[in-house]
Chains A and B, each alone.
Chain A
Amino acid sequence: MKRRLMTIVALVLVLAMALTITAAVGGCKRGPKGVIKVGVAGPMQFIQGQHHWLGAELAAEEINQAGGVDIGGDKYLIELVKIDTNEILSVDDAAAAIERAITVDKVDFIVGTIRTEAALAMQEVAMDHQKIFIVCGASHTQLADKVAADYDRYKYWFRVTPINVGHLVTTSMLLLQHVGQVVRDELGIQTPKVAVIIEKAVAGDPLAAAAQMVIPSFGMQVVGVWRPSPTATDMTAELTAIRNSGANIIYTYFSASAGVTYAKQWGELQIPAASVGINVEAQAKGFMDATGGFGNYEFTLNTLARIKITDKTIPFYDKFVERSGQFPTYNAGTYDAIYIWKEAAERAASLDSDDIVAEMEKTDYHAAAGRIVFDEKHDVKWGPGFVTAVGTQWQDGELVCVWPYGWQGITYEGTVEYKLPPWMLGD
């Protein structure tokens, strides 16, 4: 009886596998005319992939409601194809997912991805098939360097968000300088002391070295470097040591849950040093709840805020919050990526990748994240007049934009003044 049952189960499984592979591989004909398939690639079980998808979904809905994409007079609707790359766990899984999307689902172009090692493998697959691949998550420069090294092969690659890792560090240093100036002005300390706290992760190593080298050139003094675990649940020791060091500013880098622990205890212990840098957890809507209300005055680099970077920023931001109940992260840049592709395809009046690439290179698009122009490596340009990124601070339980605030003459509408924590002012 048991043997018969096992045989039946095995037969059903084999039959189901055979039928599905047949359907997947054999039935891979292009969709009906008038549909453009956009592959949205990301780790869909994680927040990054979910934001990739939500951003793309909003763009597709808006475009379709407005009549679709106009290619030489023909209207095409956008159809999204979810590509769960599982890239955080497996690189070969990610590459297979992309190949499947291109050859089985017949996507016309791809947006998304987050992890650079996987993005490099996916980039190769997309370039093999000459498919446009717009990154909205992986920040390393190596992806863009390939375009410069072998343009003919890699010209189908573009990055819309975030700004590359070099610019991210530069911007975080600008935030530090901004806080340094406020400390000088309000506390009268001409050479502020800076404590550097960077989570003990690979990405943090070069940042720790760079911070110690660069910060003194800003007229500040580095009093020490602390490297807690990315999953630390207690940072009393580090924060007490920082308090004893006499630091006026804490320069942070937290990409994981330790960012919550840090901010909570920093506020709870009322460490008399302003906190500034990169704290990914502080970009999330649930940050104040997670820190038990102690996260106020935490200042972090961000991609978007509810300010008027362009006319598109606030409508997109509100729609995203309404749809998901979360603040959009940089992964939601799939929204801008799809619009950029659409405009380029419409200008090219063609669905041919080469024609669209030629038009994408001419992109000058006012997106939700700022004015997007690509450099010669197809990387998004950073700087005054282009995408700048923003600095956001938690003030009275609200996430507000506080930077750029006069930097290079830029202050986006809705930006407010940075506030030092009241316990530093003796209030």
Chain B
Amino acid sequence: MTVQKYLYRLYQEFKGEILVLPGRTVLFAGGVLLFLLPLVWNHPYLLRIVAMTCIFAIYAASWDLLSGFVGQLNLGHAIFFGTAAYTSALLNLHLGLPPWLTIPVGAFGAVLMGLLIGVPCLRLKGQYLSLATLAFPIILMGLVLLFSPVTGGELGVSGLTRLAATRLREYYVTAGLAVVLCLAMWKITDSKLGIIFHAIREDEVAARASGINTPLYKVLAFCLSGFFAGLAGGLYAHFMRIAGPSTLGVLMSFQPIIWSIFGGIATIYGAVVGVFVLFPMVEFFRMAMEIRMLLFAGVIILVLRFMPEGLVPWLIDRLERQCPRCKERSAVTRRTCRVCGTPLRVPLRRAAPPHAGGAAATERGGD
């Protein structure tokens, strides 16, 4: 009986939290599809692409956490990804540690890097901060090449242990972690900490005046973002079985920015959807290799021209409507707010033609 009650309560929660909003329902369905995909289509190439997408989804969401929510525009996010990739790779290769250990340790390496970057960058704002962050992966790349006997120089560290024994297992590890970690990031942004992050982004002076220790929270944001990006970096190293200088490259830094802006910045799920659309799409464009990047750029420009807030906010605006009174969102099909009952569809009255004279003025409540 208790189990039945518990299940019923779970169903009610699910209904009230997920099914009540089309956006959440679609994301939930996407998550379910992610786990069902191998049952329908167990193809190594397809699983590789989706697994890579999952890894990059974590990475893009981690950028959104720092730059989208806290407003610390990081142009060198690859520093976290590359640090963790190299740390995991070196620990695996030289100490023989298994991936389940090297990946979190690598992520803590990225957290340390977050501290190293966060502290000196505390006084920097706007484009100055962005330029400073851009420099860090370049510095680390220089160190990687300088200490090539350890780091493998331009070849990187290769021959790493596979993430899991089979492609199917690798897929489930990456998909499972992507879901859990992206949800964790979303919960962080939805918590009290998320509100503080929002406040810092919107007006740092006002946040400080309200008693928020903004330097502490900014460093915390660097570390949190570094941790998640680091997990993605470690997963990447073991999935590819190589950690090379490309993990610190400019392309690796710019990709999460493109994905996040395309999907919708400061949402977490926007960055995730951005990766799930763009990464397979680039792979799909492989059949027109000569114009692949042109097509890619064309799609980005078109989407951002017509959906300046990003793909996901645009879609959500069409699926859901915000209550003018309580600001909660409801499905677009509802006539009243699901929380406070305020009418969502206020019938618009067309202005009466001029010849209607005083009658129209009376209807409009004129003087």
Residues of A within 8 A of B (CB): 2, 6, 9, 17, 20-21, 24-25, 28, 44-45, 84, 86, 89-92, 95-97, 99-100, 103-104, 116-117, 120-121, 124, 140, 142, 146, 149, 202-203
Contact = CB atoms under 8 A, between A and B. Distances in A.
What are the nearest 7 A-B pairs in CB distance?
A120-B158, A84-B289, A117-B244, A103-B45, A124-B241, A91-B246, A202-B154
B242 A124 contact: yes
Chain B: number of interface residues, binned into ranges: 20 to 34
Contact of A25 (B45, B152, B245, B289): B45
B359 interface: no
A96 B48 contact: yes
A121 B240 contact: yes
Contacts of A121: 158, 240-242
Interface in B21-58: 41, 43-46, 48-49, 52
19 contacts: A6-B306, A20-B284, A21-B284, A25-B43, A25-B46, A84-B289, A92-B236, A96-B45, A96-B48, A97-B286, A99-B45, A103-B44, A117-B246, A120-B242, A121-B242, A140-B155, A146-B159, A149-B159, A203-B154
Interface of B: 41, 43-46, 48-49, 52, 145, 152-156, 158-159, 236, 240-242, 244-246, 251, 280-281, 283-284, 286-287, 289-290, 302, 306
A41 to B, nearest CB: 12
B38 to A, nearest CB: 12
A121 B145 CA distance: 19
A44 B290 CA distance: 9
Contacts of A44: 289
Contacts of A6: 306
B158 A142 contact: yes
B155 A103 contact: no
B279 to A, nearest CB: 10
A200 to B, nearest CB: 12
Contacts of A86: 289
Nearest to B314: A6
Nearest to B145: A202
Given A20-B284, A96-B52, A142-B155, A91 B244 contact: yes
Nearest to B49: A96
Nearest to B160: A124
B281 A17 contact: yes
Given A142-B155, A202-B153, A202-B154, A100 B287 contact: no
B240 A84 contact: no
Given A117-B155, A117-B242, A96 B44 contact: no
Contacts of A117: 154-156, 242, 244-246
A96 B283 contact: yes
Contacts of B289: 44-45, 84, 86
A9 B281 CA distance: 15
Contacts of B48: 95-96, 99
Given A91-B242, A116-B155, A121-B242, 14 more contacts: A9-B302, A17-B280, A25-B41, A45-B290, A99-B44, A99-B45, A99-B48, A100-B286, A117-B156, A117-B245, A121-B241, A124-B240, A142-B155, A203-B154
Contacts of A99: 44-45, 48
A89 B153 contact: no
A95 B281 CA distance: 17
A272 to B, nearest CB: 35
A42 B244 CA distance: 19
A25 B283 CA distance: 13
Contact of A90 (B46, B246, B281): B246
A84 B293 CA distance: 13
A116 B289 CA distance: 22
A96 B280 CA distance: 11
A96 B239 CA distance: 12
A92 B284 contact: no
B178 to A, nearest CB: 16
A28 B45 CA distance: 11
